[in-house]
Structure 1
Amino acid sequence: MTLTAAAPYSKPHQTSIVKIPRIEVVDALRGFAIFAIMLLHNLEHFDFYYFPQHLPAWVKAIDKGIWDSIFFLFAGKAYAIFALLFGFTFFIQMENQAKKGVDFRLRFVWRLFLLMIFGCINALFYEGDILSFYALLGVILVPVGKWNNKALLITAIILLLQPVEWINVINILNTPGYVIPKNLSDQYFSQVGQFMAGSSFWKLIKGNFLVGRPAVFFWSWENGRFFQTPALFLLGMLLGRQRRFLASEQNAQFWKKILMIAAVSFIPLFYLKGSMHQFVATEALAKKLSMIITTWSNFAFMMVLVSSFVYLYTKNAAKRVLNTFAPLGRMSLTNYIVQSILGTLVYYGYGLGLYQYTGATYCLLIGILLFTLQLFFCRWWLSRHKQGPLENLWHRATWL
C-alpha cells in the first residue's frame, strides 16, 4: 500500500476555523463493522461455545455452512476494521484541535480513560469486550501522534510482522528442545461455561472479571492482537492524513489498487495458514508460522472488505445501499454495548438461555433481528439528536 506524504497540519486562523465535516463513508463502514461483529457474536453465543446435539442432521449441515461462511468473511476482520477507524478518528480529533492551536494528545489520554470505563461496564455482560483493549493499546497514539508518515508506516509494518512470534520461530530453529510457552488462555476458557450457563447475574459479573477477562487478555496476546491492533491504529491515522476517505477520482483509483493488491495477497496466505503442517515437520514451528500467517491473511482480507466498501461507495446505486449502515456507525459505542447486553440476555443462563437450543442458523436469524432493531432505534434516535446517548456522554465527559 502506497502512502505519500501528508499535507501538514493546518495552522490556526485568526478569523475562522473550519472543522472537518463528518465523512459519510466512514460512518457507513463503521456501521458495517458493527453489523459483522453482531453476526459473529451471535454465532458464538457471545463467547459461549455450545453446539446443540438435538438438532436434525440437515439443520446441522446448514449450520456448518453458515458458521464457516460468516467466520471466513468476518472473523478477525470486523474488529480490524473497527481498529483501523479508531486510528482514523484519532487523526480527525487531532486535526480539528490543531486548527485551534490545541494539542489534543493529553485530552485523548483522558478520553481513553473514559473508554476504559465504558469497556468495564460492557465487560459486566460480555467477557470479549474490545473497548477496554482499545483503551489500553490506544495509548500508543499519544507519543506517535505527530510522527511523520514514513515513521508511522515503518512502525506499523514492524508491528504487523509480529516480532515476538518471530523470536519464538528463531528459538525453535536454533535451540534444540526449545518448548514454546503454553496457551494460558485455554485454562481460563475451559471455565467460562460454568458462569455463563448459570442463572445468577452476579456470578456472571464475577466470572467475567476473574476468568473471562484474563482469558481474553491472554488469547489476544497469543494470537497477535497486541501487535496487529496498534498497527491498524497507525494505518488509520495515515489514511486520515492522506484524506483517503474523501470522495475523489484519485482516491477511487487508490482503493481499486488496494483491492487488487489485497486480493492477490490473500489467496496464497489463506492457503498457507491452513497447510503449514504439510510443509513444516516440527509441530511447534508449524503452529507459530501458522499464527503469524493467519494475522497477515486476516489483514489482507480486511483490506479487501474496506477497499471494496469504499470503492463501491463512489457508485451512487451502491452508496444508497451501503448508507443503510451509517446510523449504526454514528452510534457505534452505544450499539456495541447494547448488543452485548441484548445478546447475553438472549443466550446466557441469567436470561433466556437460548444457547441450549440455537445452532448457527437460528443464531444468524437472531443476529439479523437484533441488527434490525438497533437500526430502527438508531434512525429514530438520530432524527431527534445529533449523537447517540453514549456518544454524547463520552463527548461531554471528554471536555469536562
Structure 2
Amino acid sequence: MSIAAPPPLPPRLPAAPAPTDSARRLQALDVVRGFALLGIFLMNIEWFSRPLQAMGTGIDPAAAGLDRAAAWAVYVFVQGKFWVLFSLLFGMGFALMSARGGQGPAFRRTYVRRCVALLGFGVLHATLLWSGDILHAYAIAGLMLLALDGIAERAWPWLGAGLYATLALVVLAGGAVLSALPPDAGATFAALADEVDADAAAASAALAHGDWWQATAQRARDFLAVAMQGLMMLLPMALGVFMLGAWLLRSGRMDDPVAQRGWFARLAAWTLPTGAVLMALSLSVGTRFDGMREAGPMLLANGLAMLASLPLALGYLSLLMLGLGTRALARPLSWLAPAGRMALTHYLLQSLVASTLFYGYGLGLWGQVGRAGQVLLVLVVFALQVAASHWWLARFRFGPMEWLWRWLSYGARPPMRVR
C-alpha cells in the first residue's frame, strides 16, 4: 500500500511591514540623522526672529561683528546643505522600509499611510509652531518617490542628481536673464519689493507682538503665501535627493563604514572641492541682497549656492562615514545616534522651544538675540536633546512622535516600553 506524498507547502509570504526593532537599525543612519538635526536647527532658528519673506535675501543686513561672523558661517557651511543631507536620509529610509517590508501592496499601503501622517504633522507644525515647515513637502515628495519605484535602480542616481541640478540651473538662468534686463525694468521689481516688504513688516508685527491667535493666523498666511508657493521648486529637488539617498542605501554603501572607507574617501575628494568652488562663486556674487530690487544677483547667488549644496551635503555624509569607520571617532559620533532615532520629536521640539522664546505670546525675544546668540542657544538646546535622547531610549523603544507616527503608519499600536 503506497502512502500519498504530502501536499506541497504553500509559498512563504513576506512578513507584514512592522516597526524596525532597535537591534536591526543601521546606526550610521541614526548618527548622520542626529548630525543633520543640529544643522537644521542652526539654519531654522534665524527664521523665528526674521520674517519668512526675507528668505533668499542672504545675511541679515543688521548683523555686525560677531553676529555677522556667525551668520556668515551658517550661510556658507550650513544653509541649504543640511536640508539636502536630511533629504538623503529620507530616501534611505524609504529604501530600508521597502527592503524589509517587501514591495507588495502591504508595503505600499503602509508607506502611503506614513506619508499622509507626515503631511498632517507638517500642516499642524506650520500652523501651530512655525510656517517654514518642510515635513509637508517631504510627505508629498515621498508619495512621488513611491510612484517612481519601478524605474531601474541603476538610473536612480543619475535621475536624482539631474532633477536637482536642473532646478538649480533654472534659478541660475533666471538670475542671468534678470541681470541682463535694461535699467528701466527695475521699476516693476521695485513695486514687487515694496509689496514683499509690507508683508514682511506685517508678519514681524504679528509674530513679535501678537497673541497666540494672531501669531497662528499669521503662520497660516505665511504657510500659504510663502511655503506653499515654494513647493514648485522644493518638491522636484527633494524628490531628486530622495532618489540619490535610496540608491546609496540599496548599493550597500551605508551598511559597513569600515568596509566602505575607500569609496567614501573618493566621494569626499570629488564632492567637497566641487561644492567649495561653487559656493565661492556664489559668495563672489554677494551675500546680502535687497530683495526683488536686486533680483538678478540674488537669483545668481542662490542658484550657485543650490548647485553647491548637493555636493557639499554628500561631502559631509562622506566625512561622517569616514569618522564612523575609525576607532577614534566612531565612539563619540555614536552619541548622536539616539537623537537621530528621535529626529521627528526633536525637530518639532526645536520649533516649540524657539517659538516660545521668540514670539510675542512667549518671551517675546523677536529681533533681540543676535546670530551669535542664536548659535549658542542651538548648541545648548541640542546638547540637552542628545542627553534626553539617551535617557528616554533607555526606557522607551521610540520617541513620542516616532511612536505615534508608527501607530498611524502600521495601523497597530507598537509597544512603547523597553522590555
Instruction: Give the TM-score normalised by the residue count of structure 2.
Output: 0.79
With 37-46 and 369-378 compared, the bigger mean Cα shift is at: 37-46
Of 222, 228, 231, which aligns to 2:240?
Answer: 231
The Cα shift of 1:136 comes to: 1.9
Alpha carbons of 1:310 and 1:46: their partners in 2 closer, same or farther (altered >3 Å)? farther
Amino acid at match of 1:225: L
With 314-323 and 357-366 compared, the bigger mean Cα shift is at: 357-366
Render the CA deviation track for 1:321-344: whole Å, top value 9, x for unaligned.
111211110000111111101111
Of 143, 146, 158, which aligns to 1:142?
Answer: 146
The question of 1:342 aligning with 2:338 is answered no
Amino acid at match of 1:267: A
In the other structure, the counterpart of 1:160 is 164
Alignment of 1:268-307 (within 5 A): 268-275=277-284, 288-307=299-318
In the other structure, the counterpart of 2:30 is 27
CA contact (8 A) 1:128 1:213 kept: no
Alpha carbons of 1:353 and 1:147: their partners in 2 closer, same or farther (altered >3 Å)? same
The question of 1:69 aligning with 2:80 is answered no
Render the CA deviation track for 1:29-55: whole Å, top value 9, x for unaligned.
1011111122223344354489xxxxx
With 212-221 and 284-293 compared, the bigger mean Cα shift is at: 284-293
The Cα shift of 1:102 comes to: 5.3
The Cα shift of 1:146 comes to: 3.0
The Cα shift of 1:144 comes to: 1.2
SS at match of 2:100: helix
In the other structure, the counterpart of 2:107 is 104
Render the CA deviation track for 1:357-395: whole Å, top value 9, x for unaligned.
211222222212211222222122111111111101110
In the other structure, the counterpart of 1:243 is 252
Amino acid at match of 2:110: R
Of 79, 83, 88, which aligns to 1:79?
Answer: 83
The Cα shift of 1:76 comes to: 0.5
CA distance in 2, matches of 1:153, 1:195: 44
CA distance in 2, matches of 1:204, 1:43: 17
The Cα shift of 1:219 comes to: 4.3
- Segments of 5+ residues of structure 1 without an aligned counterpart are 1-11, 51-58, 278-282
Render the CA deviation track for 1:3-38: whole Å, top value 9, x for unaligned.
xxxxxxxxx856999979201111011011111122
CA contact (8 A) 2:168 2:304 kept: no
In the other structure, the counterpart of 1:397 is 408
CA distance in 1, matches of 2:139, 2:307: 23
Alignment of 1:196-211 (within 5 A): 196-211=207-222
CA distance in 1, matches of 2:214, 2:14: 58
SS at match of 1:317: helix
With 353-362 and 255-264 compared, the bigger mean Cα shift is at: 353-362
The Cα shift of 1:107 comes to: 2.5
CA contact (8 A) 2:209 2:361 kept: yes
In the other structure, the counterpart of 1:314 is 325
Alpha carbons of 1:166 and 1:66: their partners in 2 closer, same or farther (altered >3 Å)? closer
CA distance in 2, matches of 1:372, 1:14: 44
In the other structure, the counterpart of 2:273 is 264
The Cα shift of 1:60 comes to: 4.0
Alpha carbons of 1:358 and 1:116: their partners in 2 closer, same or farther (altered >3 Å)? same
CA contact (8 A) 1:126 1:208 kept: yes
Amino acid at match of 1:259: A
Identical aligned pairs, as a percentage? 24
Alpha carbons of 1:191 and 1:176: their partners in 2 closer, same or farther (altered >3 Å)? closer
CA distance in 2, matches of 1:166, 1:64: 30
The Cα shift of 1:80 comes to: 1.0
Aligned-residue CA RMSD (Å): 3.3
CA distance in 1, matches of 2:168, 2:346: 34
Amino acid at match of 2:400: P
Amino acid at match of 1:77: K
CA distance in 2, matches of 1:62, 1:168: 31
CA contact (8 A) 2:339 2:385 kept: yes
In the other structure, the counterpart of 1:5 is none
The structure with the largest alpha-carbon Rg is: 2
Render the CA deviation track for 1:132-162: whole Å, top value 9, x for unaligned.
1111222211111232123322321331222
SS at match of 1:244: coil
Amino acid at match of 2:311: A
CA contact (8 A) 2:129 2:351 kept: yes
In the other structure, the counterpart of 1:385 is 396
Of 350, 364, 381, which aligns to 1:353?
Answer: 364
Of 23, 38, 55, which aligns to 2:41?
Answer: 38
CA contact (8 A) 2:42 2:378 kept: yes
Alpha carbons of 1:153 and 1:39: their partners in 2 closer, same or farther (altered >3 Å)? closer
In the other structure, the counterpart of 2:122 is 119
In the other structure, the counterpart of 1:56 is none
Amino acid at match of 2:366: Y
CA contact (8 A) 1:192 1:212 kept: no
In the other structure, the counterpart of 1:6 is none
Amino acid at match of 1:81: L
CA contact (8 A) 1:88 1:237 kept: yes
CA distance in 2, matches of 1:197, 1:131: 24
Report the count of equivalent residues: 372
With 154-163 and 337-346 compared, the bigger mean Cα shift is at: 154-163
In the other structure, the counterpart of 2:291 is none
